Chain A
Amino acid sequence: MVKPIKLTKDQTEFVQVDGLEKHFDASKPFLTRILNREDRQILRAVDGVSFKIPRGTTFSLVGESGCGKSTIARCVVGLYQPTRGSVQFDGVDIAGLSDKQIMPYRRRFQMIFQDPYASLNPRWRVEDIVAEPILEHRLITGKKAVRDRVDELLAQVRMTARDKEKYPHEFSGGQRQRISIARALASNPEFIVCDEPTSALDVSVQAQILNLMRDLQLELGLTYLFISHDLSVVCHVSDFIGVMYLGRLVEAGRAETVLRTPQHPYSRMLLETIPSFEERGRERRAWSGEVPNPISPPSGCHYHPRCPFAEKRCSSEVPAPITIDGQRITCHGVQEGRLPSTVQTPDIQ
């Protein structure tokens, strides 16, 4: 007997992540720890992240490697159990559900992975790959009906029915990513988490996939959580953007606002480091420093050792998020109003 699922009150947002935390135990083995008198080491991959995604929109998470964006993606689809916090999907908290309880929801959200070479089983024909979710969730019965549905899905991702006889190795990277998308669509999902779906692809193919994803969103009313390190790609697909640094969301808001007037010093740096076609040989400000080790992140605001505007308070006190015009920023400098106003980035016409 499956326990009744607790319904929460607020149903306005389709996907809502609240105070999400995911910790990993990165300690050395037990005996080494005893001998060296070391404590356990906890890696806070995601450290209190909250955001909402309205139905039919795209929310993007950007940040450099190791900032926790993929961990969030996995928590959201239930591949990781969050340490703390909640993930509400259409009003239901799915974070604490058991495998059995989550099953009815699994059909409604799917995931597209980064590497189309690793995410497709090389021994299965395309037909079997795409049909798997249909059979698993018992959505359609009858061989003929399943085959027809596979044809339809392949057509949706602009492939032909003949392709279903082939194996993944017969396709290029872009084609394989289309197969992944067809598989994700097979269970009629409403929400798709895309973890760097185009970063393994060449630019001209990337454009094809991004266009396809956009068309599908309009056709099927999909909601996307899009994970990427590439701000120019993110800019293209998003309605909302969240910028992450070392497990925390430093800035979030509408895509145009975040890209036009980035407030947090880290978002400003990310935007400024994008190579520009306009000014060849422009001397860029040397942004020094690197992402610190997430096992021992800096105190206070994680970004303060690299921040050109850091003051004493930044190193001691964790900044609380403030909201300006719907843009949520976590920075003492912005709050105190002592940062220089953002200059429009040269790329914006």
Chain B
Amino acid sequence: MPLLNVENLRIEFPTRKGLLLAVDDVSFSIGEGEILGVVGESGAGKSLTGMAIIGLLDPPGQIGGGSITLEGRRIDQLPYEQMRRIRGKEIGTIFQDPLTSLNPLYSIGRQLIETIMTHTELSSHKARRRAIELLKEVGIPAAERRIDDYPHQFSGGMRQRVVIALALCANPRLIIADEPTTALDVSIQSQIIMLLKQICREHGAAVMLITHDMGVIAETAERVAVMYSGRMVEIGPTRQIVKQPSHPYTQGLMNSIPIIGANMDRLIQIDGSMPRLTDIPAGCAFHPRCEQVIDLCRQKRPELRNHAGSQAACWLVEEESPNG
């Protein structure tokens, strides 16, 4: 049984002009201790999917259908109080901007100890010792001294380490990391990626790594899901998708990434931009930008099909039986 199972998830925003579908029929699962990368451009619905899993969708956004199951238990319809207990204890979160996810008025020690004491039975003295341990684990030098410092006294990279420590407080089984390295400089970024990988290996936690940066995914995730316009267009082993993407969107995405040393005069570009939620085209959402478009693409929406070890939602992809 997978750790997390998301099935046919729909997230909708009721507006005056009608219902907007921000996430449309998305299904995937994450195994124990697995790192699943979710990539897509801004507005593709990847962060919303993450927020729906931890039950923090901002109104008017709401789950319009489908189910989310954590260890065999449905969590998408839990009342607020019960969900609050799962959040932090069973699902940890790391957000993009470490400065806004920490409270500037509390020392980091207080924030860590509060979280530990909410989710475990530890006394305040033991919680403090655990907090120091965690800070050491995420690589904060002189943790005993720094535990009483405030967020503004840390640099961006160090703050993100504190946020990771916070996410680990109750030893969660799943961590949702939403653009954890986007706000950081490249040299710090690689430190944080390595830390995240190492920590998850040691704690046996699974990670849903949401990012727009294919490079980060390629180095970190075992499997990757590609989202476009609220739909999942391709999912499969990272190696496969990076080397031989099946869906034309993934192909375009990979081609448009500049690579050092590749001697190209022009980058290969995808013309146009992702459609707005108000006018998602009929059929395949990518068809107006797709160079290989056929008539069927304009009429009927493709489902995910098995192909070469991964699954892609495209009419041009040959269906293969999952065993063969």
Contact = CB atoms under 8 A, between A and B. Distances in A.
A349 B275 CA distance: 36
A207 B256 contact: yes
Contacts of A347: 259-261
B140 interface: no
Contacts of B273: 172, 174-175, 204-205
Interface in A229-266: 229-233, 235-236, 259-260
Contacts of B41: 202-205
B253 interface: yes
A11 interface: no
B260 A202 contact: no
Interface residues of B, number: 44
A207 B268 contact: yes
A311 B265 CA distance: 41
Given A203-B214, A211-B269, A231-B186, A276 B219 contact: yes
A277 interface: yes
A280 B261 contact: no
A288 B140 CA distance: 12
Most chain A CB atoms below 10 A, which of B42, B219, B253, B265: B219
Most chain B CB atoms below 10 A, which of A175, A275, A291: A275
A202 B42 contact: yes
Contact of B260 (A214, A281, A345): A345
Interface string B179-194: 0000001111111011
Contact of A286 (B155, B191, B252): B191
A270 B186 CA distance: 7
Contacts of B253: 203-204
Interface of A: 64-65, 172-175, 202-208, 210-211, 214, 229-233, 235-236, 259-260, 269-271, 273-277, 280-282, 284, 286-288, 290-291, 345, 347-349
Interface of B: 41-42, 155, 157-158, 185-191, 193-194, 212-216, 218-219, 238-239, 242, 252-253, 255-262, 264-271, 273-274
- Closest 7 A-B residue pairs measured CB to CB? A275-B215, A348-B261, A207-B256, A202-B41, A64-B185, A207-B267, A207-B269
